[in-house]
Amino acid sequence: MNPIKADKIQFGSSSGLPHIRRSTTNELVFFDQPVGEISLSNILSERSVSEVVTVSKTTQGSDFSTIQEAVDFLPLSGGLIIIYQGTYLESISISKSVVLISRGKVVIESTDAPCLSLSSFYFKCLGLNFVLKDLLGNNNPSMIEVNSNDSTKKVYFYDCVFDNTAHPTSSFISVQTSSLFLSENKFFGTGTISVSQANTCEVLGLRLPDINLSNMIQRSYVSGSQILDITLVDSAISLSGNMNSCVGDATSNLTKEVITGEVVFDAELEKVVVFDCPLSSDSYTINLEPNTQRILPVISLKTATGFTVTFENILNETIRWSVAL
């Protein structure tokens, strides 16, 4: 009797239901909606490599039931932790080089304490959800807290969710010394991303929260379609996208394709425009909207911190301006 030959076995009529199929490379691939798709070879590798450990709420086929246990088990050199779907009520401390990867929807939930506390090591996180809740009234914890004394260390978060709606006085991420890299993450609630004394900070996303940078060694880069407020202290930044405001001290500077503002003339001939944050260069182009008297302005004293605009007649109106770098 010949065996039944099939490239796919599906459990149910909908394509989103669990199934087993043969991949283009003839590997056996398993799919389940909460976990996603994973090949048999990947499952075996996760179970057989000493620097790779797995975590599951059920512990069936996994090494540990808590993430902290997995972190503690890894050698000092670190390793990879595969976390299967579920909500993990933990405040995790990591002091070795670790990569966290989710299989399905993984939630790390903490109350009045950081979800992750990291110190002085390379760290990467992919696809996790972080939730911070308020119970005892801890005034201002950070969901992610990084304390390092080595500016060469780097911290990465990709495709993660940060939700502090249940703790409105908390911050999202606080980083000391380590460089921070954020890409395609989502933020729910209110809070800040704060980085100080690090080489750089790079943030890419759609809606971004407030960002505070202080005493950065190199230029930072932020790109988003909606950015709230940015505060700089002795730091340089390149911005792309829309933001509410960028405020910086005299030792900071801003690079942005276009910045806009307005200046109010109250029976005056001349006004000085001062940028909230110094620009990276005084080589920029100024555009002023036409005034009601159709008088051509004179631009003078153009520096990285602002410029002066003068009219030959007194004006009583608000003039909008834009600067292109």
Note down pLDDT in tens along the chain; length 325 residues: 455 667 778 877 777 778 888 777 777 777 777 667 777 666 655 554 458 899 998 766 668 999 999 999 999 999 999 999 999 999 999 999 999 999 889 999 999 999 999 996 899 999 999 999 988 766 789 999 999 888 889 999 999 999 999 998 999 999 999 999 999 899 999 999 999 999 999 999 889 999 999 999 999 999 888 888 999 999 999 988 888 889 999 999 999 878 888 899 999 999 999 998 999 888 888 888 888 888 889 999 999 999 999 998 899 999 988 888 7
Strands 154-158 and 123-133: parallel
Cα 119 to its chain centre, rounded Å, is 18
Rounded to whole angstroms, how far apart are CA atoms 49 and 102? 18
Query: Is there a contact between 180 and 202 (Cβ–Cβ < 8 Å)?
Result: yes
138: tokens are 């801890």
Q: Where are the domains of the chain?
A: 1-48, 49-199, 258-324
